[in-house]
Amino acid sequence: MTQTTSLTIIRPDDWHLHLRDGAMLEGVLPHSAAHFARAIIMPNLVPPVVTGAHAAAYRDRILAALPAGMSFEPLMTLYLTEATDPDDVEAAHASGLVKAVKLYPAGATTNSQSGVKDFGKVQAVLERMAGIGLPLCVHGEVTASDIDIFDREAVFIERVLDPLRRRVPELKVVMEHVTTEDAVQYVAADTSSRLGATVTTHHLIINRNHILAGGIRPHYYCLPVAKREKHRLALRAAATGGDGRFFLGTDSAPHTDPAKLSECGCAGCFTAPNTMGLLAHVFEEEGALDRLEGFASRQGPAFYGLPVNTQTMTLVKQDHPVSHPAKIETGAGPVTVFDPGFEVFWQVQG
């Protein structure tokens, strides 16, 4: 059998991305725009992107930060709060600006203080979203201090997500950055065709040992935190298995090195520059290179009801390991690029 050394796929999209704002936005945006045609842009700025007017202004700042000659379409989201106005959400969706609403349980992750505590208060918004077909993207972790951090996703499904979906059965839901076999099974068992899940690149590569064994490695700390190996294997099977409900959301989440390497370090892995090469590596390991296009370029648009991209991307397998800068410099400070800990030979043809 001859080895595949080149793979051309429909240009991918990133269905979960943190671009931040200001100097950080300027520093990281070119890395996503170099490979991805579109991305679902997370709204957890300080202050968060709550209204249609906020989302329009943020979209303009993203487009203004895009280097000349690059094309990239930011798919905007609204940050759900207990005060979110259903009419504002509907108008932002009707204008084509907003493609999803993001639910952060209060306190779950970076900048989630304004998230939802009392789900009764968002029932009317969720019903409106169900009526207009606007998906809810969910950060699926409970925040109760008595729940072990490694159990927070599984407990969220049982205590929050499943009851929420029963209360609003017509609502389309994306379980963002799934990290457990429990979440994979919950999504796979669904028969409504209204439930999907994004999978990050780094959760296909690291388990919790990478963070904690042999010394603490802050650059592998993200939320939801990586779990034990059996969960990583379940994620690999889901991502590479051809099931259309699982698609790529990198959750590339830049923080400066001082913010990561601190007594209370921030959560997030910055994977935008090397995600596509890493995915080709993972899919090849799983004997599923032919399914990379589905995962990165077809299944996300299908779930969101958007057309696939018309351009293509070619990945080439080099005969020597590809080198990436260990960090990028931004106006906000240096940001370390995710290090998979193994040699990678796949590279996007530039």
Q: Which residues bind ligand NCD (CB under 6 A)?
A: 18, 44, 109-110, 139, 222-223, 251, 253, 267-268
Judged by beta carbon, residue 235 or residue 315, the one nearer ligand NCD is 235
Q: How far apart are CB 88 and Zn ion at their closest, in Å?
A: 23
- Which of Zn ion, ligand NCD, none is residue 268 near (CB under 5 to 8 Å by kind)? ligand NCD
Judged by beta carbon, residue 26 or residue 176, the one nearer ligand NCD is 176
Which of 153, 243, 251, 284 binds Zn ion (CB under 5 A)? It is 251
DSSP 81-141: -TT--HHHHHHHHHTT-EEEEEE-BTTSSTT-TTSBS-GGGGHHHHHHHHHHTPPEEE---
Residues 6+ positions from 55 with CB-CB distance below 8 Å = 43, 49, 76, 77, 78, 92, 97, 98
Q: How far apart are CB 267 and ligand NCD at their closest, in Å?
A: 3
Say if residue 208 is exposed, middle or buried (CB neighbours under 10 Å; 0-12, 13-18, 19+). middle
Judged by beta carbon, residue 46 or residue 233, the one nearer ligand NCD is 46
- Which of ligand NCD, Zn ion, none is residue 271 near (CB under 5 to 8 Å by kind)? none
Alpha carbon 213 to its chain's center: 26
Judged by beta carbon, residue 10 or residue 278, the one nearer ligand NCD is 278
Q: How far is 213 from 206, CA to CA, in rounded Å?
A: 12
Q: How far apart are CB 100 and Zn ion at their closest, in Å?
A: 13
148 catalytic per annotation: no
- Which of Zn ion, ligand NCD, none is residue 207 near (CB under 5 to 8 Å by kind)? none
Q: How far is 350 from 347, CA to CA, in rounded Å?
A: 9
Q: How far apart are CB 68 and ligand NCD at their closest, in Å?
A: 28
Q: Which of 14, 182, 243, 251 is catalytic?
A: 251
Q: How far is 50 from 55, CA to CA, in rounded Å?
A: 7
Q: How far apart are CB 270 and Zn ion at their closest, in Å?
A: 12
Are 29 and 72 a contacting pair, CB within 8 Å? Answer: yes
Judged by beta carbon, residue 9 or residue 48, the one nearer Zn ion is 48
The pairing of strands 312-317 and 6-10 is: antiparallel
Which residues have a catalytic role annotated?
251
Where along the sequence are the contacts to Zn ion (CB under 5 A)?
251
